Chains A and B, each alone.
Chain A
Amino acid sequence: MTADRLVGRRTRRPPTLLIILGAIGLAVFVVPFAGLLARVPWSDLPALLAGDVVTDALRLSLVTSLAATLIAVVVGIPLAWIMARLEFPGRSLVRGFVTLPLVVPPVVGGAALLFALGRRGLVGEPLNQATGLLLPFSTWGVVVANTFVAMPFLVITVEGALRNLDERYEGAAASLGAGRWTVLRRVTLPMIGPSLVAGLVLTWARAFGEFGATITFAGNLQGRTQTLPLAVFVAMESDRDTAVALSLVMVVVSLAVLIALRERWWKAL
C-alpha cells in the first residue's frame, strides 16, 4: 500500500496518449454545453427567466424531484436492505426489476406506468374507483414517473454499500447492548454514509432531468405537470430563446447542486 503510493507519486509525467484520450472524453461532456452557452441570449435573459413558464416549471421540477427522492428514501432504502441482507428465492429477479428502469427507454417506462396506473390501468382503475385518485395528468403522476426512473440509483448504491459493510460491526454494537435503532443510527448509517449521499444525489439529479416517462405518463400542462425538461422540449419548437434560457437554468441548478454536494459530502467517492 505505502510502496504503491510512493511509486505513484514518483511518476513524473503522465503518459501523453492518456492525457489526449482523457481530454477527448472530457470534450464529449463540455462541447455540447459550450454550444448551448453560445446560443444564450444574454441581454434578454432576465426577461426570459422571469416569465411564468420558466418559474412554474422550475418550481414544479424542484418540488417533484425532491418528493421523488423522499419517496426513494422511504421505500428504496428498505428495499436495498432486503436485497443486501436477506437470502430469498428470486433475489436476482428482484435485482433485475430494480435495474430495469435504468435500461428501458423512459418513454417505455411512462407507457408501462400509464397501463398500470392510468384510469383504465391494472392498478389504476380499482385505485380510482376506491379513492377517486387519478395519477395521470396530475403533479403526483410526475412524482411517480420521477420515482420510477430515479429510485434505482439509490437502491443500487445503498445495496452495494450494505453488502460491502462488514456485518460484524453491527453485531459487535448489538452485543454491547445497542438496540436496533441505535445500531442503525450509530453504526450502519455512518458507515454507508458516503454511498447513501451519492445515491441520493444521483436520484435527485435523475428525477430533476426526467423527461420521457413524465410526458408519457403525466402529460404536459403548465403549472401542473410541465417540468423544466418538458418546458424546454415544448419551447424548442416555438421559442428558441426561452428554450435556451430554460436549458441554462437546468444546467446551472444541476451543476451547482452536484458540485456543492461533492465538495461537502461526496469526497469519499
Chain B
Amino acid sequence: MRDVRLIVTTCVLGLVIACSGSSMGGELLVSAAASLTDAFAEVESAFEVQNPEVDVVLNLGSSSALREQILEGAPSDVFASANTSNMDQVAEAGELSGEAEIFVTNSLQIAVPTGNPADVTGLEDFAREELLIGLCTEDVPCGDFGRQALDNAGVTPSIDTNEPDVRALLTKIEAGELDAGITYVTDVLSTSGIVEGIEIPAEVNVVAEYPIATLAGAPNPDAAAAWVDFVLSDAGRAILISYGFTSP
C-alpha cells in the first residue's frame, strides 16, 4: 500500500514539474456570449487536445452581462461578444490588450415549439395578442436584433416576456410555454429538432457580428492569445460553422 502511494506521489510530482516546465498552462477564463455555448464547448475540447496543460473555463452569459463583469474588474482572459457594441464599450474602457476581430456572423430565425402549435408563419404573427410571445430583453444582443427585425418588418409585437438571455428564451420555447420567439439560427440548430425554425426573409433579417479579443487584465495572456488564434484558425472556424455560424 505504501509503495503504491509512493509511486503515485512520484508520478504526480513528475507531472507538476512537467507542467511548470511548459510555456503555457493553467486556467484560461473565456467569457463568451450565451449563443456560443455549444459551439465553444466543442472548441474547448479541441483546444484542450492541442494544449493539454490549459484548463479552459467557459463563463457564459449575455454579452452585456459579461461586459459589465469585465468592466467591474472580474478576471477574464478572453471576451467573445454577440455584438460589436458591447465589445466597443470594453475597448473604450481600455480593457482590451489588442484589436477585436470578427470571427463569425449569425442571423436570426423565428423559433417555435415542435409542431408549431400556434401556426406561426412569419414575423407578422408576433402581433397576435392571443399568442404567447417571448423576446430577449432589449439590452442584450438577441433582443436588440430581434426588435430591429420586427421594426424592419413593420410589426409591433405583443410581448409576454423579455427573457434575460437567448438560452432562457429558448428553454421556454422548448417547454412549449411560449408560442414563438426570435433567436439565432444557431440556437434553433442546437436544440436538434425540439425547437423548429422559421426563416426570416433576408431583407428584414439582421446579421449579428461576433467579435473576439484578449483582455488587458488577462491572468493568462499566453493561453488567451492561443485561444483567439485557435478560434480564428481553419479548425476553429470549421467547428463554429458546424453549429450554424457563418464566416464573416
Chain A residues with CB under 8 Å of chain B are 111, 114-115, 118-120, 134, 136-137, 215-216, 219-221, 225, 233-234, 236-239
Q: Closest Cβ of chain A: how far from B199's Cβ, in Å?
A: 25
Do B161 and A221 touch (CB < 8 A)? yes
Query: A111-B171, A219-B134, A238-B64 given. 11 additional CB < 8 A pairs?
Result: A120-B175, A136-B132, A136-B177, A221-B161, A221-B162, A234-B137, A237-B67, A237-B68, A237-B137, A238-B137, A238-B138
Do B176 and A119 touch (CB < 8 A)? yes
Q: Could you give, for residues 115-145 of chain B, a 1 whenever the CB lies within 8 Å of some chain A CB and a 0 otherwise?
A: 0000000000000000010100111100000
Q: Closest Cβ of chain B: how far from A164's Cβ, in Å?
A: 43
- Which of A225, A236, A237 has the most CB atoms of chain B within a 10 A radius of its CB? A237
Contacts of B68 in A (CB 8 A): 236-237
Contact partner, B64, options A114, A134, A136, A237, Cβ 8 Å: A237
Do B164 and A233 touch (CB < 8 A)? yes
Q: How far apart sit A2 and B68, CA to CA, in the bound complex (Å)?
A: 58
B95 at the interface (CB under 8 A from A): no
Contacts of B229 in A (CB 8 A): none
Q: How far apart sit A137 and B134, CA to CA, in the bound complex (Å)?
A: 10
Do B62 and A237 touch (CB < 8 A)? yes
Contacts of B171 in A (CB 8 A): 111
Q: Give chain A's interface secondary structure class.
A: loop
Contact partner, B132, options A111, A137, A233, A236, Cβ 8 Å: A137
Do A238 and B139 touch (CB < 8 A)? yes
Contacts of B207 in A (CB 8 A): none
**Given known contacts A137-B132, A237-B62, A237-B140, is B177 in contact with A225 (CB within 8 Å)?**
no
20 A-B pairs with C-beta separation under 8 A: A111-B171, A114-B172, A114-B175, A118-B175, A120-B176, A134-B132, A136-B132, A136-B172, A136-B177, A215-B163, A219-B161, A220-B164, A221-B160, A221-B162, A225-B161, A234-B139, A236-B65, A237-B140, A238-B137, A239-B139
- Which of A134, A220, A239 has the most CB atoms of chain B within a 10 A radius of its CB? A220
B159 at the interface (CB under 8 A from A): yes
Do A220 and B177 touch (CB < 8 A)? no
Contacts of B139 in A (CB 8 A): 234, 237-239
Contacts of B138 in A (CB 8 A): 238
Do A120 and B159 touch (CB < 8 A)? no
Do B177 and A118 touch (CB < 8 A)? yes
Do B160 and A137 touch (CB < 8 A)? yes
Contacts of B164 in A (CB 8 A): 215, 220, 233-234
Q: Could you give, for residues 66-92 of chain B, a 1 whenever the CB lies within 8 Å of some chain A CB and a 0 otherwise?
A: 011000000000000000000000000
Q: Closest Cβ of chain B: how far from A205's Cβ, in Å?
A: 24
Q: How far apart sit A96 and B139, CA to CA, in the bound complex (Å)?
A: 40
Q: Could you give, for residues 99-125 of chain B, a 1 whenever the CB lies within 8 Å of some chain A CB and a 0 otherwise?
A: 000000000000000000000000000
**Given known contacts A234-B139, A237-B65, A238-B64, is B177 in contact with A114 (CB within 8 Å)?**
yes
Q: How far apart sit A162 and B64, CA to CA, in the bound complex (Å)?
A: 49
Q: How far apart sit A119 and B179, CA to CA, in the bound complex (Å)?
A: 11
Q: How far apart sit A12 and B245, CA to CA, in the bound complex (Å)?
A: 72
Do A220 and B163 touch (CB < 8 A)? yes
Q: How far apart sit A112 and B134, CA to CA, in the bound complex (Å)?
A: 20
Contacts of A119 in B (CB 8 A): 132, 176-177
Q: How far apart sit A156 and B134, CA to CA, in the bound complex (Å)?
A: 37
- Which of A114, A119, A225, A233 has the most CB atoms of chain B within a 10 A radius of its CB? A119
- Which of B65, B160, B177 has the most CB atoms of chain A within a 10 A radius of its CB? B177
Q: Closest Cβ of chain A: how far from B239's Cβ, in Å?
A: 28
Q: Which chain A residue has the least Cβ–Cβ distance from B132?
A: A137
Q: Which chain B residue has the least Cβ–Cβ distance from A233?
A: B164
Do B163 and A219 touch (CB < 8 A)? yes
Q: Closest Cβ of chain A: how far from B148's Cβ, in Å?
A: 16
Q: Which chain B residue has the least Cβ–Cβ distance from A124?
A: B177
Q: Closest Cβ of chain A: how far from B168's Cβ, in Å?
A: 8
Q: Closest Cβ of chain B: how far from A115's Cβ, in Å?
A: 7
Do A120 and B177 touch (CB < 8 A)? yes
Q: How far apart sit A221 and B67, CA to CA, in the bound complex (Å)?
A: 23
Contacts of B67 in A (CB 8 A): 237
Chain B, 142-183, CB within 8 A of any chain A CB: 159-164, 168, 171-172, 175-177
Contacts of A111 in B (CB 8 A): 171
Do B137 and A219 touch (CB < 8 A)? no
Contacts of A221 in B (CB 8 A): 159-162
Q: How far apart sit A114 and B177, CA to CA, in the bound complex (Å)?
A: 8
Q: Which chain B residue has the least Cβ–Cβ distance from A119?
A: B177
Q: Which chain A residue has the least Cβ–Cβ distance from B67?
A: A237
Contacts of B177 in A (CB 8 A): 114, 118-120, 136-137
